Structure 1
Amino acid sequence: MKSWPINYRMLFALRIGFILLYCPVYFFAQSDIPTWKDAFVIGTIILFITNHILYDYTKKMRWFLLVAAIDFLAASSYGFVFLGGNLPDQCIIGLVGLILFMRIRSPHLVSAWLILLVFYWVTLLTVEYRLLDSIDIVSIIVNTAFVVFLTFIGSLIRYYQQARQESAELYDQLRQYAKQVEGLAAAKERSRIAREIHDSIGHMLTSLLVQLQVTRKLHPIDQNKSYDSLLKCEDLARGALQEVRMSVRAMRDDDWKAAFLESIRTLINDFSAITGMNITFHSSGDMTAVSQQVQLSIYRIVQEFLTNAHKHGKASLTAIQLNCNSSEIELNMLDNGEGTALVKEGYGLRSMSDRVEEHGGTFQISSDVGRGFEVSITVPAQLTPFEERDDDTRLSS
C-alpha cells in the first residue's frame, strides 16, 4: 500500500476509520448486552487495527490473503454474535471485500468470494431461522447490496490504479524511445554534415592546392597573373573556413536550442561578410520550445538557400522571415537573383524538400526570369517531445 498514491492511501485510512466508528455502535445495540459481547467488540477492534497495519507490510500474496481471511472471520462473526439485532452486520464484510479487490485481480478470486458469501449467507440465515424462527428479508437485501457495491468499488479502484501504472510505464518507455529517436536523428545529422564537409570543403581544399601550385609556377613568369591567382586562393580559403564554421556550429548540441536564433544570425552575418550579399532577417515567436531536429533542419535550409542564391542566382539581396506559433512554423526566403522560368530540382532544393517532408511540412518554390527566387516552408510546430515533468504530479494527481 505504501507505493500507492496519496488519494488511495486516504481511502484506505477512511476504511479503518469507518470500522472504528462503526464497531462501538454495538455497545449500545442492546440494553442488556453481556460482558463477553463487550469483550468481543473490543477484541475485534484491536484485531482490525492490527490487520490494517499488517496490510501495509504484507508483500507476499499468501500473507495478504491470510490477513484478509482473519478480517473476514472477524467481520462475519458480528452476524452470529448479534443475531437478530437489526443492524447492518455485513457492512464490515463489504469493507473486507473493498480492500481485497483493491489489491488482487483474479477471476478465481471473484468465484471464491461469491462462494464464500453464499456460504456465509446460507449459514447465517439457517441459524437465524432455527433460533429466531424468522428471516429479515429487507436486511438481507440491504446488506447484500452494500457488500456487492463495496466489492465493485474495490475492483474499479484496482483497475484504475493498474491503468495509471501501465500508463506511467508506457510514458517512460515512450520517452526513452523519443530520446533514442532524437539521438539517431542527431547522429544522422552529424553523418550528413560530415559528408558535406568531405564533399564541399574537400573540393575547396583540392582546388586551393591546385591554385597554389599554379601560383607557384606563375610567380617567376608573370607576377600579375600570380597575384590574381593568389586572390582566388584567398577566396577559396575563406569559403572553406566559412563551411567549417557553419558545419561545426550545426553539430554543436550544447546550448543549441537556446542559441538557435543567434546561430542563424551568425550564419547570415558570416555569409554576408564573405559574399557581400545584403541579407535581412526577421523572426517572431518562441523557437526555444521547438524540437532540436526541426531547428537543425531550419538552420540547414537557410544555409542551403543562401548558398544557392549566391552561387546560382548571383543575388545581392536576400530577405528571410521566420515565424513560430503554437501550431506551425513558417519560413519565407526571397532573393533578387537572376531567377528561372523552369525550376530544376538539384541537390540543394532536393535536400531542402527532404528535410521539410521529414517533419510533415509543405515546401513551395516560385521563380521567374529576372524576378529572383522564393521558397516558402510550413512545418508543424513539433515541440520538444516528452519534456521532464514532475513524476509526483503525473502519478498522484
Structure 2
Amino acid sequence: MNGQTPARHYYKKLVPSLILILNCIQFLSHPAKADPILLAFVFAVYLAFIWIIPYVASTAVSLCIFIGLWLLTDFFWAVSGQEQGAAYFLIVFLMIYAAFRLPSRLSLIFTACLIGGNILLLSSQGGSLNTIISNISIMLGLYVLFSSMRFRREARREAERNHAELAKMHVQLEHAHKELQKAHAELHEASVLSLRYAVLEERTRIARDIHDSIGHELTSVIVQLQSLPYILKSSKEDSEKVIQNVLSVARECLQEVRSVVHQMGRSESMVGLTALRGLIHQVEERSGLHVSLDTAGLSEESWPPNVSETIYRILQEALTNIIRHADASHAAAVISNDKSHLYVTITDDGQFTGSLTYGFGLTGMKERAEKAGGSLTFSAVQPSGLKIELSLPLMTTHKEQKDEQR
C-alpha cells in the first residue's frame, strides 16, 4: 500500500495486533466485573478493524468505522462497572490509530470527541477530578506524540517524492541537454555548409563578373591587335588610333579588376540605355561589328538596378560571343517592355550551326537571367544567325532587395 513493501505493510498490522492480543490476555487473566465473552468479542472486533481498515479508501467510510468502534467501546465501558481499564485502553488505542489513519483535522476533532466522551462517562460513574484530569492529560500527550510521528513520516515521504521527482527531472534535463548538444552540432554543421555555399556562390559571381567584363575587354584588345599589322602597313594615323584604343581598353580592364577585387558592388555606369549605347559604341569602334539598337517599343527607361546590370552583362556577353565565334558583320538589339516585364532580343547574321555548347559564358548569361527572376532562350535565325531572347520582371523581389542591400 502507498508504495510500501509487503513485509513492511504486514509489519504495520502485526505489531498492533500483538499489542491487542497481549492486552486482551492480560485483562482476561484478572478478575473483573466485565463479561469475559464481551471483552473477548470487543477485542476481536478491534483486531478485525486493524486488518480491514488499510483497505478502506474512503475517508467517510473510515470515519464511520471509527465512530462505530467508539460507540462499541463506550457501551463496553458502561457495562464494565468499576473495571474500566480495558475500555480506557481501547479508547486510547482507537485515538492513536485515528491519529495515523484519519486526516489531521478530522483526527483532531475525533480525539476531542473521544476526550469529551471520556469526561462524560467518568463523571457519570463518579470519577474524581484528578482521575478525569489524569486521563485527559494522558490522551492529549499520546495524541501529540503520535501526531508528531505522523507529521514526520509524511514529511519524510514528501521529501522522498520530491527527491524522486527531482531525479526524474534531472534525467529529463540530461536528455534535453543531449538533444541540445545534438542540435548544436547539426546547427554548426549547417552553418559550415552554408558558409561554404556562400563562398562558392561568391566565387562564381566574381568569376562571372571577370568573364563578362574583363573577358569582353580583352577580346576587343585581341581583335585590334590582330588587325594592327595590316593597319600599320596602310596608315600610320589609323595604327596610332588602334594603339590608343588598346591602351584605353587595357586601362579599363585594370579598373574592372580593381572593382572585382575590392567588391565595390554594381557599377553605376551600367544603368539604363545610356550604358547600353556606350557599350554598343565601344564594340563597333573596337571590333568593326555593326550593332543596331531599337527601342521603339520601350515606354520608359527607368529600370531597377538589378535589371539594368542584367541587361548590360547579357548584351556584353552576347556581343563578345558574336565577335569571337559567329563571324558576323551585323548584330541587332531590340528592347521593349509592358507593365510588368522588360524584353530584350539580340540577333546576328553569323554562321550558327544549329547546336549550342553551353560554356561558362552562356551558362553565366542564363544564371544572371534566372537570378533576376527572368528567362533566357536561344534559337536559330533564318537563313543564318542566332537569336537570344531575354525576359525580365520589372518588380524587384524581396530576395533581390536583400541581395542589393548586401
- TM norm. shorter chain > 0.5: no
Scaled by the length of structure 2, the TM-score of the pair is 0.40
Task: Name the larger-Rg structure.
Answer: 2
- Higher RCO (CA 8 Å, separation ≥ 6 residues): 1
Higher normalized helix content (fraction of residues): 2
